[in-house]
């Protein structure tokens, strides 16, 4: 049997078979499963939701007006830089929205399957009503920066993969930026936004060999951009969350948290059945 030698931290030589070596390296490198940043975000909402989605259950979203508005607003936010190039930003936003009203169904064909023309028209009308509030808050400095849209990032070393909405270049610095269409906190950013940005920062550092010190959250509904400093404890948190999600991918079913968003969850019935079955054994 072929043997391999690995050095331990105490500098003692240890003998391993080929199979043992493979298992050892997998455990040491901990990259047996690629975890998407979106998996981590689902875990933060509810670990059970992450479990059921990993089992192949789809969380189907009905293409109602609210859902279409969010998709449309996010797509429009990608054009804020173009709208700012003209003399009248509000006019520029209206032109971009008019263009998107025709292109949007093509870009989001899967997400809009089953949505009628009336729902799309209503969503466009709602977003248009917000433009006057968005326009005066748009930052020329931020939206004039060179960026790459939705770059696909992957790190085998950390077992992470994901795609930020933007990767911004500022001099020799790279900074991920994410677009959020929901509520904006009074100060700073939401905790989940910090986690998401930090995960992308880790990926950018690994791929581009550059230290990432900051990122941005763009609250599209308000035209406001907030800078986030990437901190040590948040990096640690991301790696811990990655490991928890990996356990779920390996088959572990987590407990349902007390604050789980069960009211609007599509897995409620399935979750209750699993909980009942588990209680019979424990």
Q: What are the sequence ranges of the domains in the chain?
A: 34-54+145-249+267-282, 65-138
pLDDT of residue 87: 87
The sign of the dihedral angle between the CA atoms of 50, 52, 55, 56 is negative
**Three-state secondary structure call for residue 168:** strand
**C-alpha–C-alpha distance, residues 57 and 45, integer Å:** 16
Is the pLDDT confidence value at 38 over 90? yes
pLDDT of residue 179: 98
Q: How confident is the model at residue 32 (pLDDT cuts 50, 70, 90)?
A: low
**C-alpha–C-alpha distance, residues 176 and 162, integer Å:** 11
Per-residue pLDDT averaged across 67-90, rounded? 95
pLDDT of residue 86: 87
pLDDT of residue 24: 44
Of the CA atoms within 13 Å of residue 44, those in its CB half-sphere come to 17
- Nearest one of 44, 84, 81, 105 to 166, comparing CA atoms: 81
Label residue 156 exposed, middle or buried (CB < 10 Å: 0-12, 13-18, 19+). exposed
pLDDT of residue 60: 67
Task: For the chain, state the CA radius of gyration.
Answer: 22
Q: What is the dihedral of CA 235, 242, 33, 47, to 10 degrees?
A: -160
pLDDT of residue 28: 45
Per-residue pLDDT averaged across 137-151, rounded? 96
Is the pLDDT confidence value at 25 over 70? no
The rounded mean pLDDT for the chain is 86
Q: What is the CATH number of domain 34-54+145-249+267-282?
A: 3.90.320.10
pLDDT of residue 202: 98
pLDDT of residue 107: 94
């Amino acid at each position: 049997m072929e043997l391999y030698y690995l050095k331990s931290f105490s500098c003692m030589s240890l003998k391993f078979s080929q199979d043992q070596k493979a298992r050892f390296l997998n455990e040491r490198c901990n990259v047996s499963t690629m975890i998407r940043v979106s998996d981590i975000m689902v875990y933060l909402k509810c670990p059970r939701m992450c479990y059921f989605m990993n089992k192949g259950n789809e969380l189907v979203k009905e293409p109602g007006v609210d859902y279409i508005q969010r998709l449309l607003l996010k797509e429009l936010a990608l054009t804020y830089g173009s709208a700012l190039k003209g003399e009248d930003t509000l006019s520029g936003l209206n032109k971009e929205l008019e263009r998107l009203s025709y292109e949007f169904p093509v870009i989001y064909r899967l997400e809009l399957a089953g949505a009628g023309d009336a729902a799309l028209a209503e969503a466009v009308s709602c977003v248009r009503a917000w433009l006057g509030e968005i326009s005066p808050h748009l930052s020329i400095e931020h939206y004039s920066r060179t960026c790459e849209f939705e770059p696909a990032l992957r790190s085998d070393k950390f077992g992470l993969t994901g795609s930020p909405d933007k990767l911004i270049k500022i001099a020799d610095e790279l900074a991920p930026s994410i677009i959020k269409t929901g509520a904006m906190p009074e100060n700073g950013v939401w905790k989940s936004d910090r986690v998401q940005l930090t995960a992308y920062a880790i990926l950018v550092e690994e791929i581009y060999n550059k230290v990432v010190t900051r990122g941005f959250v763009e609250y599209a509904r308000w035209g406001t951009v907030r800078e986030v400093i990437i901190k040590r404890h948040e990096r640690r948190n991301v790696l811990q969350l990655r490991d928890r999600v990996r356990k779920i991918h390996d088959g572990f079913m987590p407990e349902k948290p007390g604050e789980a968003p069960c009211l609007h969850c599509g897995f409620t019935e399935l979750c209750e059945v699993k909980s009942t079955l588990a209680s019979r054994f424990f």
